[in-house]
Amino acid sequence: MDADRDRDPTGRARNARPRDALGRPQPRGAVGEERAPEGVVRTPDEALAEAQRLLDAGRPFHAHEVLEDAWKSAPEPERQLWRGLAQLAVGLTHAARGNARGAATLLERGAGTIGPYAAGPPHGVDVAGLGSWARALAAEAASGRSPDPRPPRLRG
């Protein structure tokens, strides 16, 4: 096994390198941004509040990690909602990094994933508003304009 690579005891790769605010790996030994702890089980209200705090602070990559934890621990009927929210955060990360193609792809995917929840959105998530926001931002990115990476409101 390569001693220079970060691995867990089973040999799986870990993301132990420091990261910047947008989740980009930094050189070993660099001072990175504090990361959202992974594998934390939060209530839906806690997950949405923490993700919103991170989005508002310009840290969509870290918000994605919180939403991904919620996705992994959510009851089956809600899993796709949380997955879609995580995809939107990754799309916003791509927009903030200047990756218009990645932003458009993930924002459209996320909007489509959360779409089925529009009729009865759980936990006060503004599914309709998020879908409109994501599609507008994706269209900006797809047209070659630099998308405005302002964070959305997760709840109406």
71 and 17 together in one domain: no
Displacement of CA 151 from its chain's centroid (Å): 11
Q: Would you place residue 7 in the very low, low, confident or very high pLDDT band (cuts 50, 70, 90)?
A: low
Closest CA to 51 of 123, 108, 116: 123
Note whether residue 154 is domain-resident. Answer: no
Angle at 48 between CA 86 and CA 85, to 5 degrees: 20
- Condensed to tens digits (0 to 9), the pLDDT of residues 53-77 reads 999 999 999 999 999 999 999 999 9
73 and 113 together in one domain: yes
28 and 54 together in one domain: no
Longest Cα–Cα distance in the chain: 51
51 and 128 together in one domain: yes
pTM listed for this prediction: 0.83
How many domains does the structure of the chain reveal? 2
For residue 13, what are the domain limits?
1-35
Exposed, middle or buried: residue 71 (CB in 10 Å: 0-12, 13-18, 19+)? buried
Share of the chain above pLDDT 90, in %: 64
Specify whether the CB–CB gap between 123 and 48 falls below 8 A: yes
Note whether residue 156 is domain-resident. Answer: no
Residue 3 has pLDDT above 80, yes or no: no
Q: Where are the beta strands (DSSP E) in the chain?
A: none
74 and 11 together in one domain: no
- Condensed to tens digits (0 to 9), the pLDDT of residues 20-33 reads 777 777 678 777 77
pLDDT of residue 11: 67
